[in-house]
């Protein structure tokens, strides 16, 4: 049986054409699959629990230095802000989170103000074993802050006029709460001041402040005394107004 050479040639061309088409289609599929795999990685199909488990084995990203993060007038802690402040400055303490403070001495007249809408938004915590969260040796003001102490006191007043306005002072309630006190004043007046000069003397002046826990609201070991006490019973707490000054 003889075969037509043209038919053989045509069949050969057809097979080559089909093979070429297959190769072109194959390359096209390979390229499309590679591009889709890059845009849709298998890791994207994992749920959040798997991803968190995987990421838990990775080392943390190293933090940048405080110097790189800092801006003019912004400080990493209350202690550094107090150290850098000048007399008459106001330190605005960021809301949210917890600020750890222990035995921070304030020897210049400054104001410390919480940046939140409520005093609960800005919390200072004094760790167990510290005498106080803040120690005042100058005329200062606290406003819109929550100060908590486990033992010891929240605020230690040694000298100057300390004004506390719209704050929350909390001492931890435990069997040793008789050792703690929200406010302790050890100030002593060295001389008897005339009535018109009493406004410039040492003292603690509290207004619209919630006080919880501790043996008593204020403890004085100097010659200042508690005066003009006023308490308002709110639904969930007590708000205090009082002065501690020379008689």
Asked if the structure places residue 116 within a domain, the reply is yes
- Residue 25 to residues 14, 30, 31, Cα–Cα distance (Å): 16, 9, 10
Give the residue numbers spanning the domain of 157.
90-188+201-246
Mean pLDDT of 219-230: 79
Question: How many domains does the chain contain in total?
Answer: 1
In the predicted structure, residue 191 carries a pLDDT above the cut 60: no
Is the pTM value of this prediction over 0.75?
Answer: no
Asked if the structure places residue 77 within a domain, the reply is no
- pLDDT of 62-73, one tens digit each? 444 444 455 778
DSSP state of 163: E
Asked if the structure places residue 178 within a domain, the reply is yes
In the predicted structure, residue 76 carries a pLDDT above the cut 60: yes
Asked if the structure places residue 42 within a domain, the reply is no
Asked if the structure places residue 56 within a domain, the reply is no
Q: Residue 125 and residue 149: Cα distance in Å, rounded? A: 6
Mean pLDDT of 105-134: 92
Q: State percent of the chain over pLDDT 90.
A: 34
Asked if the structure places residue 26 within a domain, the reply is no
Asked if the structure places residue 12 within a domain, the reply is no
Asked if the structure places residue 22 within a domain, the reply is no
Q: Are 122 and 95 in contact (CB under 8 A)?
A: yes
Q: Residue 19 and residue 25: Cα distance in Å, rounded? A: 10
């Amino acid at each position: 049986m003889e075969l037509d050479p043209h038919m053989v040639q045509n069949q050969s061309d057809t097979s080559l054409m089909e093979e070429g088409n297959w190769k072109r289609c194959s390359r096209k599929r390979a390229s499309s699959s590679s591009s889709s795999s890059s845009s849709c990685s298998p890791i994207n199909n994992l749920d959040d629990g798997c991803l968190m488990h995987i990421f838990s084995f990775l080392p943390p990203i190293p933090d940048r230095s405080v110097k790189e993060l800092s801006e003019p007038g912004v400080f990493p802690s209350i202690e550094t802000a107090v150290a850098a402040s000048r007399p008459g400055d106001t330190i605005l303490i960021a809301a949210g989170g917890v600020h750890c403070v222990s035995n921070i001495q304030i020897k210049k007249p400054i104001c410390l103000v919480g940046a939140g809408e409520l005093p609960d938004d800005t919390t200072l915590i004094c760790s167990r074993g510290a005498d106080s969260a803040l120690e005042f040796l100058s005329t200062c003001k606290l406003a819109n802050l929550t100060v908590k102490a486990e033992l010891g006191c929240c605020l230690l007043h040694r000298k100057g006029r300390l004004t506390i306005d719209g704050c929350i002072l909390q001492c931890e309630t435990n069997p040793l709460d008789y050792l703690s006190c929200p406010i302790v004043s050890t100030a002593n007046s060295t001389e008897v001041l005339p009535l018109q000069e009493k406004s410039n003397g040492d003292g603690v002046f509290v207004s619209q402040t919630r006080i919880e826990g501790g043996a008593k609201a204020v403890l004085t070991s100097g010659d200042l005394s508690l005066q003009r006490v006023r308490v308002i019973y709110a639904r969930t707490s007590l708000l205090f107004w009082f002065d501690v000054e020379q008689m």
